Amino acid sequence: MLPLTGANRITLKKNSSLALAANIHEPMAAPWERNVLFRVLSLMAMPWGYCVSVSCFCFVAPRWCAMGVLVVVISRNNVKKNLFLKRLIDILISALALLVLSPILALTALLIRFRMGSPILFKQIRPGLHDKPFIFYKFRTMTCDCDENGCPLPDECRLTRLGLFLRRTSIDELPQFWNVLKGDMSIVGPRPLLMEYLPLYTTIQARRHEVKPGVVGWAVVNGRNSCSWEEKFDLDVWYVYNWSLDLDLKIILIAIRIVLSGRGLNQEGCATVERFTGARGSSE
């Protein structure tokens, strides 16, 4: 058993194809050995966009035998510091937003109360970090009308003109700043979806829950509801692999422009977005 020296050190980097690229500086390793080690380290990769230095030991007797990873030491550069800064930014932005936007919040609540009645807020259990459930808040945009069997009418029948305006301007999302202040959500992250979707995700898609859900996300600024589910999940996982404070700032700036334009609000043929029924063409 030989320890890997500096020449044998492995550096994991995140790339834009959602895969983890391992640059293995080991001239003695056969291609199949590099592939095996790459697969092992990919499964162990952390969800933050930092280079991860991995020091390990391997069996090389002879060089053609399998490489067994015995010890893995992962150093996460500045992860705790940056997560602390991300949380601090979340608190500052959400508190400031709730304060500055309080007149809009109050006016919206009054309009909903007089136009649609109670309740003013839509509350639902959504999965958060590591699938932990939390109460998700947003302004109500639909009526509670049901058919003769007691089932809710389709979204396009229940969505009011006021509700459509709130959605187009994203004012209905403003109560989520309270979720951010509480720590259930972040300003930036994958959008929180329904609890019933959890068993439908593939192994890769489930990684979107390795970070806190967000008010805005990488999928939001790359198509919003006009993207397919598979495209949105790919974008969410890309964010998990590539997260940084710089990327968060970029997403916030792009999101402001998209909200003002109302682009990507609906999918064709749907009032909002079709339900997710499982990954197509995948058995994961």
Residues 13 and 49 in one domain: yes
Domain end marker among 77, 98, 124: 77
Pair of tokens at residue 86: 């991300």
Asked if residue 130 is part of any domain, the answer here is yes
Is the same domain home to 85 and 110?
A: yes
Q: Tell me the C-alpha distance between 113 and 115, whole Å.
A: 6
pTM (whole model) above 0.75:
no
Mean pLDDT of 19-38: 44
Q: Are 128 and 214 in contact (CB under 8 A)?
A: no
Q: What digits encode the pLDDT tens for the residues 134-193?
A: 999 999 998 887 777 777 777 777 888 999 899 888 899 999 999 999 999 999 999 999
Tokens read off for 71: 């010890």
Number of domains in the chain: 2
Residue 37 makes CB contacts below 8 A (sequence gap 6+) with 10, 22, 24, 29, 58, 67, 69
Query: What mean pLDDT, rounded, does the chain reach?
Result: 75
Asked if residue 107 has pLDDT above 60, the reply is yes
Query: 86 and 72, same structural domain?
Result: no
Look at residue 66 and tell me if it is in a domain. yes
Three-point CA angle 230, 201, 136, nearest 5°: 95
What is the Cα–Cα distance from 139 to 103, expressed in whole angstroms?
Answer: 15
Comparing C-alpha atoms, which of 226, 209, 219 is closest to residue 266?
Answer: 226
Query: Which of 52-65 are b and which e, b meaning 16 or more Cβ less than 10 Å from the residue's Cβ?
Result: bebbbbbebeeeee
Helix intervals (H) in the chain? 31-43, 79-100, 102-115, 155-158, 161-169, 176-182, 229-242, 245-261
Burial bucket for residue 68 (CB in 10 Å: 0-12, 13-18, 19+): middle
Over residues 57-82, the pLDDT tens digits come to 343 444 433 444 333 333 345 778 88
Dihedral sign of CA atoms 256, 259, 265, 271 in order: positive
Residues 21 and 112 in one domain: no
Q: Are residues 159 and 176 in the same domain?
A: yes
Question: Is pLDDT at 11 greater than 80 in this prediction?
Answer: no
**Pair 114, 220 in one domain:** yes
- Mean pLDDT of the region 39-59: 42
Highest mean pLDDT among 40-44, 60-64, 254-258: 254-258
In this prediction, residue 95 carries a pLDDT of 97
Phi, psi of 136 (to 5 degrees): -95, 135
At 197, is the pLDDT very low, low, confident or very high (cuts 50, 70, 90)? very high
12: Cβ contacts below 8 Å, ≥ 6 apart: 20, 21, 22, 41, 45, 51, 52, 54
Domain that holds residue 42: 2-77
